[in-house]
Each structure stands twice: as structure tokens, then as C-alpha cells.
Amino acid sequence: MVTMSEEIGHLSAALVKAQSEVDNAVKNATNPHFRSSYANLEAVLFTVKPILAKHDLSVVQFPGYEDGVCTLSTLVLHKSGEWLQSEAGAPLDKPTAWSVGSCVTYLRRYSLASICQIAQEDDDGSAASEPSNPKPAKQTKPTKKLTAVDDKKLLAERLGVLESILQAVEEHGGVDAKHLTLGREILKDGGPLDRADKAIAFLEKEVGR
């Protein structure tokens, strides 16, 4: 649902100019569930805020939650007093603090990207969108022994997953500072793989409570 002020001439002209200057945000995070890269909320804000401000525009977002549905109101303001507001929402299977926080971040990013016409290929909403009854995984054939190059690639991937989880935890909470520090030390040291895997397993268990 979209609502707006009686006049939006100034806002429309400013938004058209802003959209023409906005590039797609750089993908700078990894979804630990789907192993895909995406531009997180911070990257989108970093991309659009200076351009919106340049054209006398600002965005305010109001999250909400009711009856199992996470909601978000996004309000675009122009210095003339004109405004444009949109509503978005998503149902949650598991209404925990973690899933609500993840859903709010997801809605904020997609709503802002939609307004500014930023392409979004992959998402980070897995904590809010995981199916209640996932299908059992298919059996796979045994894989060949990993080479040294494979080991390095796997370590880099797992460290990326760990960094993504740490960023999400730091934003939404749920894990004490001691374990966050340990996770950051593993990233700083570049592994090893077994420590990274243990840290990922522990953090996923903590945020899933």
C-alpha cells in the first residue's frame, strides 16, 4: 500500500534525479544459510544516503510486529514537505527476537532498494523465511579428497560465513561479547578451519534459541 501528500511534484523531480545517480550497491556480505552474496543494509544505506541528501530527500523507516506478521513503513520526505509512504510485511513461522530482527533488516533493505531502484539479486532473509518443515536432503555420492587449494577455498568460505553471522549478531544481539570477541579473533588469525566451524556451529545454536 502506498500513500502520499496531496502534491508530490517537488519530491518526484528530486527522486528521479536521485535514482539516475544511484548505482547498484556492492555485494559485501554472505548468507550463511544459502551461501550467497548480497549487499547488506549498511552497503545500501552507504550507497543511497549521500545522493538522497544531495537532492533534499530523506528516508525514515518504522518497523512493527503484530499477529505473526513483521511490518515496515518506509517514508520518503522532501524538504518542501511533500512525502511518499509505502507499507511492506512478511509472515514469520518462528516469531523469535532473532527472526523478527532479521525480517526487519530484510524489509528495510528491500524497501529502500526498491525506492532507489537498486537491483537485489540475493537475500539475507533466511532467518525469517526458512520453511517450517524442510524437505530431507538428498543423498549424495562420496566426494573426492580435498586438495590444498580446495582447503583454502573452503576456509575462505567458512570465514565469510562466520563474518556474516557475527555482523548479524552484532546488529540484532543474542550472544555475549566474549564469544563475539573469540569469533573476531578467528577471523583476524584466518582460521584454522576447525575453529571457524566450531564458532559457526556455536553462534547458530545461540541465535536459534
Confirm whether pTM is higher than 0.75: no
Tens digits of residue pLDDT in 65-123: 888 899 999 999 999 999 999 999 998 887 788 888 888 888 998 898 889 888 755 44
Q: Any idea where the domains of the chain sit in the sequence?
A: 2-129, 148-207
pLDDT at 180: 77
> Which CATH architecture best describes the domain 2-129?
2-Layer Sandwich (3.30)
Tens digits of residue pLDDT in 130-145: 444 545 555 555 544 5
With b for 16 or more beta-carbon neighbours within 10 A and e for fewer, the 179-204 pattern comes to eeeebeebeeeebeeebbbebbeebe
Cα distance from N-terminal residue to C-terminal residue, the chain: 34
List the grid coordinates of 23: 548505482
Q: Residue 110: how many CB atoms within 10 A of its CB?
A: 21
Cis before 142? omega within 30: no
